Amino acid sequence: MYELSLRYGMNPHQKDAKLSNGGKPLPIKVVNGDPGYINLLDALNAFQLVRELRNATGLPAAASFKHVSPAGAAVYAPLSDTLKKAYFVEGLELSPLATAYARARGADRMSSFGDAAALSDTVDASTANLLKREVSDLVVAPGYTDEALEILKAKKGGKYLVLQIDPDYVADPQEMRLLFGLKLEQQRNDAVITEASFERIATKNKDLTDDAKRDLLVALITLKYTQSNSICYALDGQTIGIGAGQQSRIHCTRLAGDKADRWFLRQHPMALGMKFRQGISRAEQNNAIDLWLEEDVTPFEQAAWEQCFEEVPRRLTKEEKREWLSGLQGVSYGSDAFLPFRDNLDRASRSGVKYVVQAGSSMRDEEVVQAADDYNMVMVYSGVRLFHH
C-alpha cells in the first residue's frame, strides 16, 4: 500500500487527511479499524519509543500514549504483589510483554484512559486479553498471533484499531513538515541512546548500578518521544512520572514529581484496601483513588466520591503522605535538556531521586552539580539534547 486515507485530520472539520510515503510502500498497515490523523501520530511515535527501548535493553517494551506524548513506558520486570493490585492485574496470567504493558499503563492510569498502546514484540494472547479489558483506542506492534488478533478484533464492537508495523523500517535521514503552508526540513533525530551515554559522571558519588542504568535508559528514551520541555522519573524498569510540554523546566519537574508521588501513594495500604460499591468500574475506581489524594474538594465532589464506596475511606493527612513517600527511594530522573537551576534537583530529591541524567553544558553546571552532591545523587551528562515537538 502506498497511501492510506484517514477519517479526518487533527479535528473532524479538517478533511482530506491521508498518510503517504513519497511514492514508496508504507511500513504500516491497518489490520482492523479505521485510523485518524492523531491515531497515527501516537502510533508512529510510540512504536519508535518501544523499538528503541527493546534495542537498548534487550527486554520486551511497551508504551501507553495520549496526545502524542507517553503517559507511561516500561520494559519487562516482574511485578510485586503490591503493584499487581495497584495495576488491577491480580490473578491474571501475564507474559513478559503483557507485564511491560501493565507497567506502562500503571504508571499513570488516569492519563492512560483511551490510550494508544505500542508493543515492541509480537502480541500474544496474554497481552491481547489485557488490552481487551482496558479502555484503549488502538494498538501498534510488529505482529500478532492468530489468537491475539481474534481477541483484539472483537474489542469495541469490532472497531478497535489494530496496526501492524515493519520493525525493520528505516526512515529517510531527512524529514520535513508543512506549517502555515511553509516547509520545514531537518535531519531526523537519529541519536542512539545506550549505556555508553552514562559514562560522564559529574558528581562525587559515581556508584551507578545496573538497575539505575536500565531506568535511566527508560527515562531518556521516553523523553526522546515526549513533547518538550520534558522530565521523566523512572523506577524498576518503568516510568513513574512524566512532565511534558511545559514552558518551564521546573514546572516539568514538579508535574512529573507529583505524578511519581501519586504513583507511590496509590500503593498505600489504605488505597489497596478500599471497599468499592458493587458495579464501580476500574476507571471509576481509578478516579476515586485519584480524588482521595486531593487536599481540597468541593461539597459536590465529596458527595459524588462517597457514592463509590461501601465504606468511605478517610483521607491521609499531609504528615501520613510524607511518611509514606519517604519510602520512595532509588528513583532515576531524566531531563531532555540541561538543567538551568538547582531547583529541579531540590524538587526531585523529595520524590526519592538518586540518579540523574541531563544534557549538561548549562551556565550553572557547577551549581547543579553542587545540588546533586548535596543530596548524594549520581548525575551523568548525556551530552545530547532531546527536544521533541
Residues designated as active site: 66-67, 229, 389
Give yes or no for a contact between 315 and 292, defined as CB atoms under 8 angstroms apart: yes
Residues 6+ apart with CB under 8 A from 90: 81, 84
Classify the C-alpha dihedral 268-344-223-235 as positive or negative. Answer: negative
Rounded to whole angstroms, the Cα distance separating 146 from 168 reads 21
In this structure, what is the dihedral angle of CA atoms 345, 349, 354, 360, given to the nearest 10 degrees?
0
Report the sign of the C-alpha dihedral through residues 239, 265, 138, 129, in that order: positive
Upper half-sphere CA count for residue 67 (Cβ side, 13 Å): 7
DSSP letter for 353, please. Answer: E
- Nearest alpha carbon to residue 192 among 55, 301, 302: 55
Contacts 24+ apart (CB under 8 A), 78-86: 79/103, 82/267, 82/272, 83/267, 85/272, 86/266, 86/267, 86/271, 86/272
Please return the burial class of 312, using the count of CB atoms within 10 Å of its CB with bins 0-12, 13-18 and 19+: middle
For the record, the C-alpha cell of 333 comes out as 530522573
Amino acid (1-letter code) at residue 333: Y
- Dihedral class, residue 202 (left if φ above 0, else alpha if ψ from -120 to 50, else beta): alpha
C-alpha cell, 146: 492468530
Relative orientation angle of helices 282-292 and 299-306, to the nearest 10 degrees: 130
* Pairwise CA distance, residues 272 & 289, whole Å: 9
